[in-house]
Structure 1
Amino acid sequence: MRALLAMPSELPGRMFDDLQLTRLAALGEIDTRRTVPDLAAAEDESLAEVEVLLTGWGSPCVDAAALARMPRLRAIVHTAGTVRFVVSEAVWERGDIVVTSSTAANAVPVAEFTLAHILLAGKRSLAQETDYRRSHEVGRPAGAGRAVGNYGSVVGLVGASRIGSLVAEHLQRFDVEVLVTDPYVGAEEIAALGATKVEPEELYSRSDVVSLHAPDVPSTRGLVSRELLALMREGTTFVNTARPALVDVEALREELVSGRLCAVLDVHDDLADDDPLWDVPTVSITPHIAGSQGNELRRLGEHALEEVRRLAAGEPPRHPVDPSRREREA
């Protein structure tokens, strides 16, 4: 099986450790020291024999021109999440190319990050730390808004995506009620996650923490509207590890600057230096760190390595991308 690393030259060293690269090299004809960051510039001879492409962040798009030079291509193994910037419509139209993604692997650290912040939000950690820094007094009341603590609290998850589902599964270990809103997932499937399916209005009005886990597709732009944010009770927390385009940013800013709501924002459009959100003590702003970083990238590489092993052994892929769902998945 002839495979090719179609990605930036520095990426394999980030996604795979030495042992993983050795295992990859043993699965077929692949030079793990060679990468092809630009398919258009690759030699016709090398592309003509390729059966499997390994791609990742910054990989070239596999378009119709590239496909014409790879008649034997039968699989694209993506070491990252979304494939929409790598896999063109021409790939789906050909119909005989398996596409896999490491989205499930990348969901793990995002779900861990989200879980941590949901539990901290239950303790009103940001508000209590702010008050303590000002007063230096232990045991002061946490201030206005809902009661402090996670016992019996309500967590609302917007989207039963891979990440949203994994967060719901994690929350089964805690004494919290989990609500989920997702138009594409049935009540029974959500119940299997230990959660209850509800309409958006109920979720926002009842939840102590609302966490966003919907994909960034045209149908979800502005999903978190001004009206829904207004339903959240004073002192509750909004968590966004998805994408800023899903939220009415101006409405959210108003709610946060006023102090009525708290937030954890790991994704956001570039904030101006004078954006008032920088100075709101009950808003956590992090630079998109929830997803895989550092040694967590090895998990993505391991998922991709398993897919290559399955291809070499003639086994079905573990995490194929379903082309029929691409309009509603990131």
Structure 2
Amino acid sequence: MENYTFNSFTLQLDGLKLSEASMYPVFFAFLFCYLFIIIGNLGIIVLVFIDRGLHTPMYLLFCNLAFNDILGNSIMVPRLLISILGHRSEILISYYECVIQAFISHMFATTAQTILMIMSFDRYMAICNPLRYTVIMTNKMLLKLTVSAWGVAFVLVGILLGLTIRLSRCRTLIANPCCDNASLFKLSCESVVINNIYGITFTVVLSVASVGSTVLTYTMIIVVCLTSKSKSLNSKALKTCSTHLIVYIVMFTSGKVGIAFHRYPEYAEQRKLCLILFHVIPGTLNPVIYGLQSKEIRRFLFKFLPSKKVLSS
């Protein structure tokens, strides 16, 4: 018979179950990824801030994505590293801290999609309406788009978690290494029909809006490129759009695989790994993809590298 603990303010996170042989390789792999996420994304934010040549909508929007990656990984990875190093598969966490962690985790996932939607609109304007680009994508418009990306995510996730915290709790085990909404409302013995309906609606509407806007903007960009005889335009479109599309596919795929695993309890360990990778992989790849493919960022970094004459001497 299952033991019930009603409205306990101490919960347990179910961490990764690792063997002695794999514990330290996994620890150092996640540690390296986390340090790279912090240094890489923070480095790009600093570069954009100090170089006025990078004060363009594309890079300012990417700063939002970089900040979101730092925030989303900092709420989960350090606690995961501590649990691995402490040889513990179960980690204690307070209920309120768990709610905050779930809120930031869902904000990370939602904001990533809204920011990428805005970035696809920016690429559409830059390629399909280059003459009107500077008139439309002003600092005021950029501020409105940024506030909208974070504001919509805040409201949607706020309602999502609000429906969950109204529930009483009769269990204490979070079957994940990180708190999320689904794991939280599964602690309740009450009806969670409303939570499931809103959660599914939230996911479907956001996914349809995200995929729909991306497909629409890229279809228009492809049409413009096919009808244009300008090689420079096609080259610019290929470089900037391929970068954005790679980031979007990585983020969207890793997120949806994790959601799918939530429906199959027998794949608990795979679900845990997907949840971690959903945070880690985009945050690790984003600074590499944007940094290495950006001519402006490469030019800025080369300023601080010693010249060939200095190296030879």
Q: TM-score, normalised by structure 2?
A: 0.28
Instruction: Give the structure, 1 or 2, with the largest relative contact order (CA under 8 Å, sep 6 or more).
Output: 2
More strand by share: 1
Q: TM-score, normalised by structure 1?
A: 0.27
